Amino acid sequence: MSGGSTLIRIDGVSRFFGATAAVADVSLEIGAGEFFALLGPSGCGKTTLLRMIAGLEAPDAGSIAIDGAEMTAVPPWERPVNTVFQSYALFPHLSVASNIAFGLKQEGLPRTEIEARVAEMLTLVELEGLGGRKPHQLSGGQRQRVALARALAKRPKALLLDEPLAALDRRLRDQVRSELAAIQRRLGIAFIFVTHDQEEAMSLADRLAIMRDGVLMQVGTPREVYERPSSRYIADFLGRANVIAGRAGGRDGAFLRIDTDIPGVTLRARDERSIGDGTPLWLAVRPENLSLDASEQANRLPGVVRESAYAGDVSRYEIEIGGTLTLRAVLPNRHGESAPRPARGAPVQVSWPAEAGVVLTE
Amino acid sequence: MTGRRSPLLLTWLGLGYAFLYLPVLLLIVFSFNGSRLVTVWAGFSTRWYVELLNNERIIEAAGLSVAVAAASATLATILGGLGGLALGRIKGFRIRPVAAALLGFLFAAPLVLPEVITGLSLLLLFVSLDNIIGWPGERGFTTIVIAHTTFSLAYVAVVVQARVRLLDPALEEAAHDLGAPPARAFFNVTLPLLAPALAAGWLLAFTLSLDDLVIASFTAGPGATTLPMVVFASVRLGLSPQVNALATLFVIAAGLCVTLAVVLIARTNRTAKI
């Protein structure tokens, strides 16, 4: 864990809906001040896990502790965390200021203190002067900021955000994303957010947890999970890696040899583990690590360009190898690049260094 | 259908509404008739309204009707509101869909049950209750209020249920999350958001009670006569222009209540969508 002490400790938590496990035996630690993402496709249990941290959902097994205090049986209104709901759930009958003051009134703070905090929150989210508006008089982006201000007004130890950017249009999303990051850095409290958008998770989070069918697949920094995925699922889910099936075929020093189903093709990847010869495994290689020339020695495959698409900053290629395997390659388009790019149907040599591949056993 | 307004269609439209409202319009016109004969026009006059206000029997009956309507509407709003809240959230209770549908149907059944049957069954209930526990004794205000509550709470429940379905379930969760225990979340968030629907339900229940003749006739005693009962009794003795005047006032009162209710429902459904 990066940065400081453990704030939230989730220990063997499960939650069933009928016979299916929405969350299955998840254990996780989140640090104080961490920007943490729960990432996964819809229905993977990430929102249920977030709701259990908030206390809106009770685990069927396991325990949750916040800041050292056991929270499993504590109702949401007594937990030191607050939530920004996906629908924002602003109270439509209350003004912006009253929405933000709602949680403070529950604490029974004196009126001057409440007014000061509301003003402070309106400044934080840059909505000064809009305290008297009703939620239906605000734009989507403004509503999102009110929801943020309302949850932060209680000075929670952690802020929980359920798909905070999902309801915003693309242009607004980029702006709100950088604002969220700035607010988190300024306040220094833990932000835990749920998202299905891997780019959002990678760019915002200090660490992220990837879930699938209620199971925690991998936890780590964006760089760790992207460069060292622990399974084929994660290699494919994050950045759509090329996954090539093969069998362990002995070692070349620090490199593992991988025999593939393509006749005569043996690949090499750096891997320190001792893997018995003949063990079935998979090699994951990111599209941006492929070269469309024979410049790398370790792995070299002859193929034919099937698709090529110019996308401005990069060009994307699909290369067919030996009729059974298609590899995706992404090449940057730099101004003045002199080497000619292969056209559709052209034969090419695909190559990548041994360090670029990740050996997966599951 | 294209945007064309054919004269034929407009005629049909006019005829349809005429069929609905011409009788009421005639009644209102004849309430300002100077003649004692209900069907012969003898110039404009407000004499029947003056006579109406001096008719003690009618004023007394009107007082009872308004009291019954206010009491039964209030009871129906509380009970029907709670019922509507439960029915609107029935999916959250994790019961079988068949059971949920059955509960909803049973709650709404009084909407379609013939009034004669409702009235008769309540009369039987009151008579047997009186035999067994000595209550409610003589039928009157209390029994009419109970009877009106039983059928009008179904209307309140339907209105409230529709509103509850439109409410974001996350609103109450947000209140919990911000430190409000269930009771406070209900009174600070849910109840204010349901208030327009509850007011609309109250107005509907009030109107239904004010208009009711059949059920009141079954459940009223000799000492208690509601306004519709007086009207009906006097019409049997022969048409009187006074009754026209009374009916006109009724139409206006009921019309106002229903219009207000519709406006409230429309407004609450609009604000619920954010």
Domain ranges of chain A: 6-234, 240-360
**Nearest-angstrom CA–CA distance, B181 and A142:** 28
Show residues of chain B in contact with A89, CB under 8 Å. Answer: 168, 170-171, 173-174
Nearest to B177 among A54, A87, A136 (CB): A54
Q: What mean pLDDT do residues A195-218 have?
A: 94
Mean pLDDT of all residues belonging to chain B = 88
pLDDT value at residue B90: 85
> For residue A37, which of A237, A196, A151, A150 has the smallest C-alpha distance?
A196
Residues 6+ apart with CB under 8 A from B70: B206
Confidence of residue B110 (pLDDT cuts 50, 70, 90): confident
pLDDT of A243 higher than 60:
yes
Count the helix, strand and coil residues of chain B and give each as a percent rounded to the nearest 5: 80, 0, 20
- Give the tokens for residue A89: 């759930």
Tally the residues of chain A.
362
A281-A284-A287 Cα angle (round to 5):
160
Q: Give the distance from residue A224's alpha carbon to the nearest chain B alpha carbon, in angstroms.
A: 34
ipTM above 0.90, yes or no: no
Show residues of chain B in contact with A136, CB under 8 Å. Answer: 271, 274
pLDDT value at residue A339: 61
Contact between chains at B180 and A154 (C-beta distance less than 8 A): no
Q: What mean pLDDT do residues A271-283 have?
A: 86
Q: Which CATH number fits domain A240-360: 2.130.10.10, 3.90.226.10, 2.40.50.100, 1.10.10.10?
A: 2.40.50.100
- Cα B265 to Cα A3, B202, B260: the distances in Å are 53, 12, 9
Q: What mean pLDDT do residues A66-89 have?
A: 96
pLDDT value at residue A239: 82
Nearest to B174 among A78, A89, A143 (CB): A89
Q: What mean pLDDT do residues A125-137 have?
A: 93
pLDDT of A343 higher than 90:
no
Q: What mean pLDDT do residues A87-111 have?
A: 95
Helices (H), B109-190: 115-133, 141-166, 170-177, 182-185
Bridge partners of residue A8, in order along the sequence: A30, A66
Residues 6+ apart with CB under 8 A from A10: A26, A27, A28, A29, A30, A49, A53, A62, A64
Beta strands in A132-278 (DSSP E): 158-162, 190-195, 207-212, 215-220, 242-252, 255-260, 266-270
Q: What mean pLDDT do residues B69-96 have?
A: 91
Contact between chains at A77 and B177 (C-beta distance less than 8 A): yes
pLDDT value at residue A2: 46
Show residues of chain B in contact with A102, CB under 8 Å. Answer: 175, 178, 180, 188
Q: Does pTM top 0.95 for this prediction?
A: no
Cβ pair A143, A135 in contact under 8 A = yes
**Nearest-angstrom CA–CA distance, A128 and A92:** 19
> For residue B268, which of B169, B189, B160, B172 has the smallest C-alpha distance?
B160
Cβ pair A39, A211 in contact under 8 A = yes
**Nearest-angstrom CA–CA distance, B178 and A154:** 8
Superfamily of B55-273 according to CATH = MetI-like (1.10.3720.10)
Q: What mean pLDDT do residues B246-268 have?
A: 85
pLDDT in tens, B146-196: 999 998 999 999 999 999 999 999 999 999 999 999 999 999 999 999 998
Residues 6+ apart with CB under 8 A from B138: B221, B223
Query: Strand A190-195 vs strand A158-162: parallel, antiparallel, or unpaired?
Result: parallel
- Give the tokens for residue B5: 């307004």
| Beta-carbon pairs below 8 A across chains A and B | 69
Confidence of residue A336 (pLDDT cuts 50, 70, 90): low
Tell me the torsion sign for CA atoms A195, A200, A201, A206: negative
User: Phi-psi region for residue A126, left (φ > 0), alpha (ψ -120 to 50) or beta?
Assistant: left
pLDDT value at residue B262: 85
Cβ pair B227, B166 in contact under 8 A = no
Choose from B172, B173, B177 for mutation: most chain A CBs within 10 A.
B177
pLDDT of A310 higher than 50:
yes
Domains A6-234 and A240-360 share a fold: no
Q: What mean pLDDT do residues B128-155 have?
A: 91
Residue A222: how many other CB atoms lie within 10 Å: 19
Cβ pair B173, B181 in contact under 8 A = no
Nearest to A154 among B178, B193, B271 (CB): B178
Show residues of chain A in contact with B173, CB under 8 Å. Answer: 56, 76, 83, 85, 89
Nearest to B274 among A77, A83, A135 (CB): A135
pLDDT of B12 higher than 80:
yes
Q: Which residues in B have their CB inside 8 Å of a CB on A?
A: 168, 170-171, 173-181, 184, 188-189, 192-193, 271-272, 274
pLDDT of B274 higher than 50:
no
pLDDT value at residue B3: 62
pLDDT of B239 higher than 90:
no
Using CB atoms within 10 A of its CB, is residue B229 exposed (0-12), middle (13-18) or buried (19+)?
A: buried
Using CB atoms within 10 A of its CB, is residue A162 exposed (0-12), middle (13-18) or buried (19+)?
A: buried
**Nearest-angstrom CA–CA distance, B225 and B141:** 9
Written as one letter, the residue type at B254 is: A
**Nearest-angstrom CA–CA distance, A91 and A82:** 16
Cβ pair A159, A191 in contact under 8 A = yes
Contact between chains at A92 and B177 (C-beta distance less than 8 A): no
Contact between chains at A77 and B176 (C-beta distance less than 8 A): yes
Contact between chains at A82 and B180 (C-beta distance less than 8 A): no
Q: What mean pLDDT do residues A272-299 have?
A: 87
**Nearest-angstrom CA–CA distance, B65 and B67:** 5
Count the helix, strand and coil residues of chain A and give each as a percent rounded to the nearest 5: 25, 35, 35
Written as one letter, the residue type at A59 is: P
Q: Which of A90-99, A227-236, B80-89, B251-260 is predicted with the least confidence, judged by mean pLDDT?
A: B251-260
Q: Give the distance from residue A290's alpha carbon to the nearest chain B alpha carbon, in angstroms.
A: 47
Which chain A residue's Cα is nearest to B182? A77
pLDDT value at residue A21: 93
**Nearest-angstrom CA–CA distance, B268 and B261:** 11
Show residues of chain B in contact with A56, CB under 8 Å. Answer: 173, 176-177
pLDDT of B270 higher than 70:
no
More confident residue, A110 or A271: A110
Q: Cα A336 to the chain's mean position, in Å? A: 35
> For residue B62, which of B52, B75, B72, B47 has the smallest C-alpha distance?
B52
Q: What mean pLDDT do residues B40-52 have?
A: 87
Confidence of residue B134 (pLDDT cuts 50, 70, 90): confident
Tell me the torsion sign for CA atoms B166, B170, B176, B180: negative
3 state SS of A360: strand
**Nearest-angstrom CA–CA distance, B216 and B126:** 13
The domains of chain B are located at: 55-273
Fold of A6-234: Rossmann fold (3.40.50)
**Nearest-angstrom CA–CA distance, B137 and B140:** 9
A178-A159-A115 Cα angle (round to 5):
90
pLDDT of B1 higher than 60:
no
- Cα B100 to Cα B88, B94, B95, B219: the distances in Å are 10, 9, 7, 32
Written as one letter, the residue type at A13 is: V
**Nearest-angstrom CA–CA distance, A86 and A162:** 5
Torsion of Cα atoms, B118 then B120 then B125 then B127, to 10°:
150
pLDDT in tens, A179-188: 999 999 999 9
Residue B267: how many other CB atoms lie within 10 Å: 12
Most confident range (mean pLDDT) of A204-213, A319-328, B137-146 is A204-213
**Nearest-angstrom CA–CA distance, A36 and A191:** 6
